[in-house]
Amino acid sequence: MKNMEWAIIGLLFAACATGPAFSADEPKQLVKQPAIDESVSATAGDKAWEELKKAFIPPPQPKEWRTTPPTKDQIAEFERQNGVLAGSAADKAKEFYTKFPTHPRANEARGLELRLLTVAIELGSTNRQTELDALLEKRLSDPAVPEDEKFRVRAQRIANMLGEESTDRAANLAQAEKAVRELQRDFPKKNESYDLLLMVAGGLLEEENLQKARQITEEVARKAPTETQEQAQSQLRKLDRVGKPFELSFKDLNGKEVNVTNYAGKVVLLDFWATWCGPCIAGLPELKEIFAKYHPRGFEILGVSLDKEKDTLQKFLADEKMTWPQHFDGTGWDNTLVRNYEIEGIPTLWLIDKKGNLRNLSGRVALPAKVEKLLAE
Helix crossing, 226-241 with 193-206: angle to 10°?
A: 10
Domain count, the chain: 2
Please, which residues bridge with residue 249 across strands? 259
Same domain, 213 and 255: no
Same domain, 223 and 296: no
pLDDT at 12: 36
- Which secondary structure element, helix H or strand E, spans residue 227, and what is its range? helix 226-241
Q: Collect all residues with Cβ–Cβ distance below 8 Å to 204 and sequence separation of at least 6.
A: 173, 210, 212, 213, 216
Same domain, 39 and 104: yes
Q: Determine the Cα–Cα distance for residues 372 and 377; give it in Å rounded to an integer.
A: 9
Same domain, 211 and 307: no
Same domain, 153 and 295: no
| DSSP 8-state code for residue 127 | G
Same domain, 162 and 206: yes
Same domain, 272 and 223: no
Helix (H, G, I), strand (E, B) or coil at 299: strand
pLDDT at 216: 96
- Please, which pLDDT band fits residue 42 given cuts at 50, 70 and 90? low
Q: Collect all residues with Cβ–Cβ distance below 8 Å to 287 and sequence separation of at least 6.
A: 271, 301, 367
Same domain, 186 and 253: no
CA–CA distance from 121 to each of 84, 87, 156, 163 (Å)? 9, 8, 13, 11
**Last-in-domain residue among 215, 240, 265:** 240
> Does the reported pTM lie above 0.85?
no
The CB-side HSE value for 53 (13 A sphere, CA atoms) comes to 12
The Cβ of residue 170 has, within 10 Å, a number of other Cβ atoms equal to 13
Q: Determine the Cα–Cα distance for residues 359 and 34; give it in Å rounded to an integer.
A: 43
Same domain, 139 and 206: yes
- Residue numbers of the domain that contains 259: 249-375
Q: Determine the Cα–Cα distance for residues 25 and 2; give it in Å rounded to an integer.
A: 19
**Last-in-domain residue among 173, 207, 240:** 240
Residue 23 has pLDDT above 80, yes or no: no
Helix (H, G, I), strand (E, B) or coil at 338: helix
Nearest to 121 by CA among 169, 83, 152, 93: 83
Same domain, 176 and 81: yes
Q: What is the largest CA-CA distance in the chain?
A: 71
Is the backbone peptide bond immediately before 347 cis, with ω within 30 degrees of 0?
Answer: yes
pLDDT average, residue stretch 343-356 = 95
Helix (H, G, I), strand (E, B) or coil at 257: strand
Report which of residues 175 and 163 the model is more confident about.
Answer: 175
Q: Determine the Cα–Cα distance for residues 152 and 181; give it in Å rounded to an integer.
A: 15
pLDDT at 10: 35
pLDDT average, residue stretch 71-88 = 86
Residue 33 has pLDDT above 80, yes or no: no
B/e letters for 289-314, b = 16+ CB within 10 Å, e = fewer, are ebbeebeeeebbbbbbbbbbeeebbe
Sign, CA dihedral 175-177-179-181, equals negative
User: Chain-centre distance of CA 200, in angstroms?
Assistant: 13
Q: Determine the Cα–Cα distance for residues 376 and 267; give it in Å rounded to an integer.
A: 10
B/e letters for 204-243, b = 16+ CB within 10 Å, e = fewer, are bbbbbbeebbbebbbebbeebeeebbebbbbbbebbebbe
Residue 311 has pLDDT above 80, yes or no: yes
Specify the CATH number for the domain of residue 324: 3.40.30.10
**Last-in-domain residue among 195, 210, 240:** 240
Same domain, 344 and 259: yes
Q: Is 24 exposed, middle or buried (0-12, 13-18, 19+ CB in 10 A)?
A: middle
pLDDT at 209: 92
Residue 20 has pLDDT above 70, yes or no: no
Same domain, 178 and 253: no
Nearest to 58 by CA among 121, 125, 119: 119
pLDDT average, residue stretch 254-281 = 94
